[in-house]
Amino acid sequence: MNKTIALLPGDGIGKEVMFGAEEILKAIGEQYHHTFTFQYGRIGGDALDHTGEPLPSETLEICKKSDAVLLGAVGGPKWEENSPELRPEKGLLKLRKELNLYANIRPVKAYESLADHSPFKREVVNGVDMVIVRELTGGLYFGKPSERQFTKGEESAVDTLFYSKKEVRRIIKTAFEMAQTRRKKVTSVDKANVLESSRMWRETAEEISKEFPEVTLEHMLVDNAAMQLLKNPSQFDVIVTENMFGDILSDEASVLTGSLGMLPSASLSEGGLHLYEPVHGSAPDIAGKNLSNPLAMILSAAMMLRMSFGLEAEAEVIENAVERVLDGGKLTSDLAKGNAGVLTTQQMIEEVKVCIADNDAILSIMEAYA
């Protein structure tokens, strides 16, 4: 397979973790005879420093000409005082809009060997393996009007929660398609007891569920979902929800895994050009110190292989390698919590590479897909 991948490292630890993803993809390419061509683009503060813009047109062009986009992270104290248009985050928001990335997919998996690193009890996090599907281009964050108003000397503010039926259908269908390849359960989260947009959301979920008879649909009010995520998180398979609810719930769920450095994500477009990035930011406090955990970025690359290129077995080889490294007690400092044997970023990348090259373990995976 020949594929071109846009690599946008961005700022802070974005560069370090992107190096890890690139190394792992090179190893997979060599081992399974795929040619991955990497095209590098600047974004965020790095792009501001070099071009004066957070998303230069050259970067956008590189992305549009590629088969998939991998992004590190953007932002940092250096650019915090910039005007809103010249902030690093603006580059990422513009990229999401330009590529029409409507669905944010966040898997949340609690690794057995990390159960004691979560702030929750082992019995609560054991078995957690869910995907949160968040609508990303509509709802309260984009509805108009969104403004301050002044009426008879009184100041007020308005934001608008708007969804077209088409937008709701699109994201709920994505969730059902995903559930079909997993444990076949969709939890649709809304606030249908109060909001009209949620009532339309719920009706739409019911309509779509008829197209997927083998998938079970349940509805849950967002306040209950926030509680259930902490009380009994293993009940969830695929959660689908609107933009703001998804923003809050996916951050809440991320705590279950023990570290932000473990969480990958995908943002899907209708056109098929998808973007993959770790959930974490640029971590300026540890940037440049060889301390960052590269696994969220490496797992994002695995999601890319599966979702953009259909390379399911290769994705599983990476995920399996990560799991074996963790099972062997090899941890970066965000996970090790003061324990001995802490790995640097570079050492963690090497450990994953060693596991990928371990033929015995991967042969069984490849045979299963033969």
Q: Which residues bind ligand NAD (CB under 6 A)?
A: 13, 17, 73-76, 89, 92, 260-261, 277, 280-286, 292-293, 296, 334
- Outline where DSSP puts E strands in 224-340: 238-241, 264-269, 275-278, 331-332
Pairwise CA distance, residues 125 & 112, whole Å: 9
For the bound state, the minimum distance from the C-beta of residue 293 to ligand NAD, rounded and expressed in Å, comes to 4
Query: SS in 3 state form for 44-58?
Result: HHHHHHHHCCCCCHH
Does residue 56 have a cis peptide bond before it, meaning omega lies within 30 degrees of 0? Answer: no
42 vs 191 by CB, closer to ligand NAD: 42
CA dihedral over 272, 131, 305, 351, signed as positive or negative: positive
In the bound state with ligand NAD, the residue whose beta carbon lies nearer, of 94 and 173, is 94
Provide, rounded to whole angstroms, the least separation between the CB of residue 261 and ligand NAD.
3
- Residue 190 is a catalytic residue: no
The question of whether 67 is a catalytic residue gets the answer no
Which residues have C-beta within 8 Å of that of residue 90, sequence separation ≥ 6? 54, 55, 84
SS3 (DSSP) at 152: coil
Identified catalytic residue from 3, 90, 191, 330: 191
Rounded (5°) CA angle 142-57-140: 5
Between 319 and 334, name the residue whose CB sits nearer to ligand NAD.
334
Q: Is the distance from CB of 66 to CB of 273 less than 8 angstroms?
A: yes
Residue in 46, 67, 237, 247 annotated catalytic: 247
CA distance 74 to 88: 6
C-beta closer to ligand NAD: residue 130 or 262: 262
Q: Are 48 and 86 in contact (CB under 8 A)?
A: yes
Q: How far is the CB of 232 from ligand NAD (least distance, A)?
A: 26
214 φ, ψ to 5°? Answer: -85, -5
Using the minimum distance from each CB to ligand NAD, give the nearer residue, 73 or 205.
Answer: 73
∠ Cα 137 262 237 (to 5°): 60
Does 360 qualify as catalytic in the annotation? no
Specify whether 184 is catalytic. no
**Least CB distance from residue 334 to ligand NAD, whole Å?**
4
Q: Say how many CA atoms lie within 13 Å of 136 toward its Cβ.
A: 28
Cβ 296 to ligand NAD shortest distance, Å: 6
Pairing relation of β-strands 143-151 and 154-160? antiparallel
Residue with smaller CB distance to ligand NAD, 138 or 261? 261
> Measured from the CB atom, is 53 or 190 closer to ligand NAD?
53
Could you tell me the two tokens for 326? 């963790």
Q: Confirm if 132 and 108 have CB atoms less than 8 A apart.
A: yes
- We find the least distance from the C-beta atom of residue 164 to ligand NAD, in angstroms, to be 27
What is the nearest approach in angstroms of ligand NAD to the Cβ of residue 338?
14
Report, as residue numbers or ranges, the catalytic residues. 141, 191, 223, 247, 251
